[in-house]
Structure 1
């Protein structure tokens, strides 16, 4: 176990930012633990606020699916404060997170392992480990994953702390910039356009954006960019019924 911890700790040494440290830790999970991908999510148990780190673009996309569909092992791990194991997403008995499951299987991933990230019993995120093949993690890989989840808390807390405690300093400004980069600003902007176009509530607008993403095999962020770039017609049947703001009601 000592060699695993040392390798994971060393992977983050000298990182110029908290986000880079998180990315390096995820890549080390792939190299050291023998998994096919890893990502670190910031989450509150209801939704994910953003991807804090990832081993690559596929892992980042898989994490995006949890926000897009509002379900997934990361959210369950944060809510319950315990690891959530899905060793065979292709199994007919695996009925958790149906939308997330279908999207992840389509992407070629068969197993996901979500490990809470936080302090004691207060998780504020999760480390997700992905495998293309089904099957449980080895004892060594699971032990290393738990160590990585423990280590993932430090750079995130550092980033949040520097942003709050040194708001007027250059370091504090960098912390806020990094936190802002986790937010899916394009999603909020796009839902605003949906609200204005269809005269619906913010919650309904987000539901419609997520439904559009699911129907087109996109993440919520990708669907949002289509809206912002005027590539999605908000008044076709794909967005559901709803009058435009200011339109007269009709029977």
Structure 2
């Protein structure tokens, strides 16, 4: 089978998050990469990981949320693919925090392809490589196909709101995707708001700052807050 046929087979008869995970796994198998994830982006922030090839890929994606920078955010903001052949290249400075974090995870090459649904740039397919690598044309074409196929699980999640999403770019259908993503972070943010008597943006910033300072995932910090193993203090 061709690359396109193998990617299509990975999502056939699958739905939602399961289809997203299987698509990412297929990307690793057929595109000669080390990890893949599908990011969701809303209002300029990485709000969730729709699918991932494995837990390491999910972590690479979530760190874009923690640091507020990375390939998925650039791909959506620029409405174009993003390519970094080698993060270790001294001239590569676009992600001053996320870049070194990926190098610490021994990831040097990153590509991101925007995911578009109903004319809206809603996320990106991110692929990660341990070695510097320029993907040849057939693999880039495969990435483009995978990014198109990523619409399938997103359409499943939008479901009845799809007509509204297609007809109105400002539809609440897009905002409702946030309910499917990083629910622990949302709950923990509410607890920090109540504990410290601060506004939502400040509470979220405090949670993300703690994750960054301690080198942990935001969802891990959120679970500790929810389970009352951690209480963030005023500075």
Give TM-score scaled by structure 1 length.
0.82
Matches within 5 A, 1:1-251: 3-15=2-14, 17-44=15-42, 46-119=44-117, 122-162=120-160, 182-235=180-233, 240-241=234-235
> Does structure 1 conserve the Cα–Cα contact (< 8 Å) formed by 2:47 and 2:178?
no
In the TM superposition, residue 20 of structure 1 has moved relative to its aligned partner by 1.0
Residue 168 of structure 2 aligns with which residue? none
Which structure 2 residue ranges, 5 or more long, are not aligned? 164-176
> Does structure 2 conserve the Cα–Cα contact (< 8 Å) formed by 1:38 and 1:128?
yes
For 1:158 and 1:195, locate their aligned partners in 2 and report how far apart those are by CA, in whole Å.
33
Choose 1 or 2 for highest CA Rg.
1
Q: Deviations over 1:217-246 (max 9, x none)?
A: 1111111112222222423xxxx52xxxxx
> Does structure 1 conserve the Cα–Cα contact (< 8 Å) formed by 2:155 and 2:162?
no
> Does structure 2 conserve the Cα–Cα contact (< 8 Å) formed by 1:111 and 1:132?
yes
For 1:93 and 1:23, locate their aligned partners in 2 and report how far apart those are by CA, in whole Å.
34
- Write out the 4+ residue segments of structure 1 that deviate beyond 6 Å after TM superposition: none
> Does structure 2 conserve the Cα–Cα contact (< 8 Å) formed by 1:44 and 1:78?
no
In the TM superposition, residue 99 of structure 1 has moved relative to its aligned partner by 2.0
Is 60-69 or 194-203 further displaced after alignment? 194-203
Which structure 1 residue ranges, 5 or more long, are not aligned? 166-178, 242-251
In the TM superposition, residue 44 of structure 1 has moved relative to its aligned partner by 2.4
For 1:208 and 1:129, locate their aligned partners in 2 and report how far apart those are by CA, in whole Å.
29
In the TM superposition, residue 126 of structure 1 has moved relative to its aligned partner by 0.5
Give TM-score scaled by structure 2 length.
0.87
The alignment yields a C-alpha RMSD, in angstroms, of 2.1
Q: Evaluate the alpha carbon distance shift between residue 40 and residue 204 of structure 1 in structure 2; reply closer, same or farther with a 3 A threshold.
A: same
> Is the partner of 1:92 in helix, strand or coil?
coil
For 1:23 and 1:163, locate their aligned partners in 2 and report how far apart those are by CA, in whole Å.
23
In the TM superposition, residue 113 of structure 1 has moved relative to its aligned partner by 0.5
Q: Evaluate the alpha carbon distance shift between residue 182 and residue 104 of structure 1 in structure 2; reply closer, same or farther with a 3 A threshold.
A: farther
For 1:121 and 1:132, locate their aligned partners in 2 and report how far apart those are by CA, in whole Å.
33
For 2:61 and 2:217, locate their aligned partners in 1 and report how far apart those are by CA, in whole Å.
10
